[in-house]
Amino acid sequence: MNWRGHVICTWREKLASTAVSSEEHLIEDGRVVPLTNQTVLSDGTPEQSERCCGEHGICSHEVLRDGERDCDARVVPNKMIRKASFKLSWCCKGEKSDQKKHDVVSFEKGNITTAERSSKQISLKWESPPQTVLILTKPNSTAVRMLCSEMVRWLKEQKSLNIFVEPRVRTELLTDSSYYQFVQTWENDNEVLRLHTKVDVVVTLGGDGTVLWAANMFKGPVPPVVPFSLGSLGFMTPFYSEHYKEYLDSILRGPISITLRHRLQCHVIRDAAKSDLETEEPILVLNEVTIDRGISSFLSNLECYCDNSFVTCVQGDGLILSTTSGSTAYSLAAGGSMVHPQVPGILFTPICPHSLSFRPLILPEHVTIRVQVPFNSRGHAWASFDGKDRKKLAPGDALVCSMAPWPVPTACQSDSTSDFLRSIHEGLHWNLRKTQSFDGPRET
C-alpha cells in the first residue's frame, strides 16, 4: 500500500457511487477527488495550476464542489468569499524528513517484505487563509453562552473572519447586544446541506456530544473541526477553553496535526424492498450504531453477515457496530476494546450475549456488514444511530453498514496519539494504580 492509498484506505471498495480509487487524494475540507492540476476560481471556472500537487503530500488547488456550481453559496454582503484550501501531508514526529519511511509492500527475489513503518501524523497546512468559521455550542449552558459571545467578538475584531452560528445562538447573541448583527446563520435544511461550501473551520464549544452534533450536521464532506472542552468527558475535545485565543491563533496560521475520524454509513433495507438498492435515506454515525431489543422482554435474534459471509447469530440484548472513535463510548461499556481513532476498522461488540464464548471482534474497514432480523425472531429490533433517530426493524428488515467516504477531521492539541492517550488517562483513569513499593523481598 503506498502513502496515498494508506490515507484513503478506509474509503475504498464502498458503494459504487462513492468508490474511491487509490489514485485519488484528499483536498481542502476532507473530500476525495481525482488527482488534478486544475484550480477552480470563485466564479466556477477552471484554471490550470502552475504548482504541482507534491510528490509526498496530499494537496489541493481546487475549490470543493458537489458536481454543481456553488459560487452563489460563498457570497456574503458586499464580498465574494472563496473557500480556503489546504494541504494534508504525512509528518513523522522527531524526524527532519517525513519521507524516510513509507508503508509499502515490496516483492524481491520471491520474498514479500514490508518497509519499516513509522509513527506518522497527518498535518494540515493552509494554502490560503481561512475566512469563515462556524461555531456550534452546547445548549442551556451559561458558561458556553458567555464564551461564545466573547469568541465571536474576538474572531471578528482581531481576525476579521465571517462567523456562522446556529439560529438559536444568533437569537441569543442579538438578545445580549445588537453588536452581533454581522453574525450569519441559515434558514432551512437546504442551506445546512451546503454549509461545507462556505465554512473553512468548525469550532465546537461543549463536550463529545457537541462534536457528534457537528458531525451530524454534515451529511457529506466535513471541514476541519476544532473541539473545545466544556463538557464532562472529552475523548474528542483536547482544547481547553481558557486558552482559546492562543489555540485559534495557532490553528488559523497552521500547520496543525489532525485526526481523521472515520464514520459509518448505514442503510435500512425493509423486507418489502425489491432489491438491496431500495434503501431508506443513509445515516452517518461518528460513534456507533446500536441494534437492541428495545422494550421487548425477548432476546434479540440477529443474523450477521460480513461481505456476504455468515458471521454469527446474536442472541442477547443486542449488537454494537462502532467506529474506532466510538471505541471509548458504548462499545467500551459493553466490553469492547479501546482502539486508537486512526486505526481503520469496525468494532463488532455484542451487548450482554447469552453465551460464554461470544467475544468482541475488530473487522477491517473495507468490509460491508449486514445485520438481519430473521423471520423466526420472537420480537422486533430497534436501531439507534449515535444514540438517536431510533428505527424499528421488523422480521425481514436489515441494516447494512460500511465505512463512509467522508471522515471528520478534528484538530489535535499536540498529535493524535498523545491526545488519545491523554484522554483515556484523564477521562477514564486508565490503569491508575498505586505503584508497588520498592522496599521488600527481591529476587536474588
- Calculate the alpha carbon distances from 365 to 8, 268, 368 in Å: 11, 20, 8
> Could you tell me if 237 and 231 are in contact, meaning their C-beta atoms sit under 8 angstroms apart?
yes
8 Å CB contact between 42 and 72? no
Nearest to 131 by CA among 252, 243, 34: 252
β partners of residue 106: 113
For the CA atoms of 230, 235, 238, 243, the dihedral, rounded to the nearest 10 degrees, stands at: 20
List 208, 292, 317, 386, catalytic entry: 208
Query: Which amino acid appears at position 206 of this protein?
Result: G
Alpha helices in 242-297 (DSSP H): 244-253
Q: Which three cell numbers stand for residue 177?
A: 447586544
> Annotated catalytic, 98?
no
| Nearest Cα residue to 264 out of 340, 357, 366 | 366
Nearest CA to 415 out of 342, 343, 347 is that of 342
Backbone phi, psi, residue 159, to 5° = -115, -10
Residue for grid cell 493524535: 416
Q: Is 22 left (phi over 0), alpha (psi -120 to 50) or beta?
A: alpha
Q: Report the candidate in 86, 160, 186, 106 with the shortest Cα–Cα distance to residue 409.
A: 86
201 in Cβ contact with 222 (< 8 Å):
no
Strands (E), 232-360: 239-240, 256-261, 264-269, 283-285, 288-292, 300-306, 309-322, 345-353
Residue positions annotated with a catalytic role = 208
